[in-house]
Chain A
């Protein structure tokens, strides 16, 4: 078993990573709930609140909080995916590279550069893992089939592209094409990760049918 500072079993590490992802999702959901309740209270007290300077400031603060949590979420999901697909070392290297890319992006083009480069690197890692999955024809590992794993990689790649579409590309001409590409990745990826076993079963049946008809 690989050691990361303290001896840790693969199972407990996987569970810990999933717990982080669950926690990040839940915290983000709480941010949205809090924002809803706060907005409701403010609109009730001050009907013109959404036209005020305070509202602009409030939106700015929420963007920073939500943006930070989305980053934590994507990094934890990346680590989970890497952990389930390849080794922890490669997962850690991927995250370090993504963070380094984000810092370089931030230095050269501010927060837009950071998000674009960081997310693009996360998306590229998913593509890299997908190519590797196809090249090695890794049929089964853990409980997931090859198609399910490919679907999971595609959908997480889609979310990274989606973040690029909605944040740094906001208002640009490329926003909608990038958004639709992300949507296609997310929907196809989700469908494959949910119904991969069925798709594989149908594919195997079709292949058997073809080989028996040739015989």
Chain B
């Protein structure tokens, strides 16, 4: 298997890493400046800058993935006419946080663009700033797809040394993990949902202490992204179900920690949608805001559980 062109593309990405890091640090600092100093009138312009930067970076990542798909033949013994291609999704490993940020910025262009509430914009800018800095720290350019890279090198070595067992194992992972349609539907739907949920978060952070009229106003700002997020979350989780049946047949996978906390998060967002039916009534307003915050904490917990708690759906 020839990896030269893939390695060349990967090195090109690594060469861009310092520029990407610096750009996201500057972006993060600018967003935090807006949050701290209250220059909310610049928030919209900066969101467009962030969207352009994130989209340009995403195009480069997309090009890298296209190079993986077009230059690597997983079954070189079959010849180019019957090539086995590797379609690595654009939201795995070090690209997760970046992809989440990209969708968050796009969601903000739709839902935060017309918001005039200064308090909401300040908190949103603070979140965007922290998110930008997180992308700068965990950037997908410095070490692109480290696990897949190691697997490809091991695969090339196994092919060269004619190690049939290792070839079969890795080929199975390439074809039934990276290339599976579920990998192209389940995670992006969930990331779209997570991005929208971050967009709505400022309303809950501010609403928990706000008087009732302001609380209702804030909740109306959150409702648009929350509805779309819940739709994506529900569909994303449901799409994962047949995949789980295929992958973990015979085990009690639904009580595995990552699955557990994902269901918990979905239940908490469902609680929010039922609680908000009586938002304006005594007790329900603050309860709804509190549930929104708890649900977001559950979202963060769900994300980190993958790396923290061992289980069938985890890297811990």
Contact = CB atoms under 8 A, between A and B. Distances in A.
B103 interface: no
B274 A18 contact: yes
B261 interface: yes
A33 B275 contact: no
Contacts of B241: 166, 179
Contacts of A32: 260-261, 263-264, 267
Nearest to A155: B234
Interface string A25-42: 110110011011001100
A22 interface: yes
A18 B278 contact: yes
Contact of A29 (B234, B271, B277, B310): B271
Interface residues of B, number: 35
Contact of B268 (A25, A166, A191): A25
Contacts of A14: 278
B305 interface: yes
Interface in B227-245: 227, 230-231, 234-235, 238-239, 241-242, 245
Contacts of A190: 230-231, 234
Given A29-B298, A36-B305, A190-B234, A21 B311 contact: no
A107 interface: no
A40 B307 CA distance: 12
Given A36-B260, A190-B234, A21 B274 contact: yes
B64 to A, nearest CB: 33
Interface string B295-316: 0001000000100011100000
A62 interface: yes
Contacts of B310: 40, 43
Contacts of A183: 235, 238-239
Contacts of B150: none
A35 B31 CA distance: 39
Contact of B311 (A33, A39, A58): A39
Contact of A15 (B260, B281, B311): B281
Contacts of A195: 227
B239 to A, nearest CB: 8
A187 interface: yes
A195 B268 CA distance: 21
A200 B291 CA distance: 30
Interface size class of A (residues with CB under 8 A): 20 to 34
Given A21-B274, A59-B255, A179-B241, A29 B260 contact: no
Given A25-B274, A186-B234, A187-B231, A33 B309 contact: no
Contact of A187 (B238, B260, B267): B238
B78 interface: no
A210 to B, nearest CB: 29
Contacts of A176: 242, 245
B242 A35 contact: no
A151 B264 CA distance: 24
A22 B238 contact: no
Contacts of B242: 176, 179
B277 A18 contact: yes
A111 interface: no
B260 A39 contact: yes
Interface string B249-284: 000100111001101100110110011011001001
Contacts of A175: 245
Contact of B257 (A22, A40, A187): A40
Contacts of A21: 274
A87 to B, nearest CB: 19
A195 B227 CA distance: 9
A21 B276 CA distance: 12
A186 B298 contact: no
Interface in A41-70: 43, 55-56, 58-59, 62
Interface string B34-68: 00000000000000000000000000000000000
B210 to A, nearest CB: 20
A22 B275 contact: yes
B274 A186 contact: no
Interface string A1-36: 000000000000011001001100110110011011
Please name the 10 residue pairs, one residue from A and one from B, whose CB atoms are nearest each other, closest first.
A32-B264, A25-B271, A29-B267, A194-B227, A59-B252, A36-B260, A36-B257, A29-B264, A32-B260, A183-B238
13 contacts: A18-B277, A21-B274, A22-B271, A22-B291, A25-B267, A25-B274, A32-B264, A36-B309, A39-B309, A43-B311, A58-B255, A187-B231, A194-B231
Given A32-B264, A59-B252, 7 more contacts: A26-B268, A29-B267, A29-B271, A32-B263, A43-B309, A179-B242, A190-B230
